[in-house]
Structure 1
Amino acid sequence: MPVYTNEGLRFDNEQEAIDWFKTTLNTETPIGELYEELHAVKEWEEGDFDLQATGLNDKEVHIQLDSPSHEGKVFRRVQYNSYGNNEPLEFEPLKELIDNMIKSVNVASIIAFDKVIEILGAIKEGNEKYIADRVTSSENLVLTVQAERNMYDGAVVIAITDEKTKEQYQDSIPSDEEGRIDIELVEKTVESIFLKQMSGKFDGEEVTVDGYKLQFLLNYAHENEKEVEVKII
């Protein structure tokens, strides 16, 4: 009887699949010594981050660290991808970069979570400057904060999901070459998702009002057939 892998590969029978799988096994990792050095970093493990390191060689690697809190519904992740790199990666600079990315994720997740809870509290008290149905309740809030870095750029992506409605809203904050972000942007990034009123200095290039992004407000108006009032003061 034919069998298939999750990726869609077909084999005539189970034994053929097992034989093929054995040909993919190696006695050494393709990323070499870097693999052992990465897995020897105790502070990542102590910080509740699970590490996966794969790659083609010691130049092109994919590193992922996950720290899920299923009870708190907060999911932190770091992803580094060096595909396209032509030089062997050095462990110490790579570790420093990942450390910075972890710090960015940790701080951003705390600030973002607190801000969402603050906004939900304001909505419950009748504050009308926020869109009320983004998240149905704090119990249904799922927060994902992910730091990403490749050979060209990087960012921290913040995703807010309602577990009940399955609706998700996300935005990103650019990071520098060292994996750091402007922490002050976290609150504005989160609040932009909920705001239905804005007033302040308009930036036509970034399409922001006092640093708050207009895209979520305009998308909400479009999707819900709402009218928009625009004034130039």
Structure 2
Amino acid sequence: MSPVVPITPNATGMTEERVGGKAMGLFRLVSLGLPVPPAVVVTVDDEGSFETLPDAVSALGEPLAVRSSAVGEDAADRSAAGQFESVMGVTANGVAEAVRTVRASATSGRVAAYRGKAAVPMAVIIQREVRSTRAGVAFSRDPFTGDDTVVVECVFGHGERLVSGTADPDRFRVHPDGSVEARLAVKEGSLRLARTLRDDEVTAVAGLARKAEAGFGRAVDVEFCFDSGGLWLVQARPMTAL
């Protein structure tokens, strides 16, 4: 099998042991027909010869996001989200070096401290980077109560501002009857009182989260972003809070 696999509904050889948890999440989303930016995955059994990578990713477009997909990285019982490197704004010619950087993070000190001495099998996702204007995360169930209410958190710009805690998100709750409850964060500058998402956009995000839950067969959280072309999902994993 080729060590570089396009993440498409008809992809073969897609197992978590071969492509890692994050790539499997994208594969499930794509297989459900949900909107995911085009991507390929460099499998864990790749031997480190990256000469053909520029050709393999040329159809994705630029810039590219290069991210880890370690085996067990997004497992519900031991989430390691955020422990590995990601490289953004990558060109096709720079993708091999970015893959090496992500792979090297599997042996970093912080990963060793988190996971102990066990080796981490590492696949790598190469995906068209979304130039997001708004981004966030949606929980298909209330992460605190487990109720059938979708909770959506969103910030302006890139999702890293939410993940890193540098921006307080707007928080929306979409109830089973379709009603939307909003709690808006105080923001900086001209966006101080601006709302990140309209009700119809919140409802669209919640709908994708519910479809993902149905397809995964369990509660999930999904990372989403909006660009000039609309709404995209860039990650999905089992919820760890329930």
Give the structure with the higher percent helix.
1
Q: Report the TM-score when normalising by structure 2.
A: 0.29
Q: Which has the higher contact order (CA 8 A, sep 6+)?
A: 2
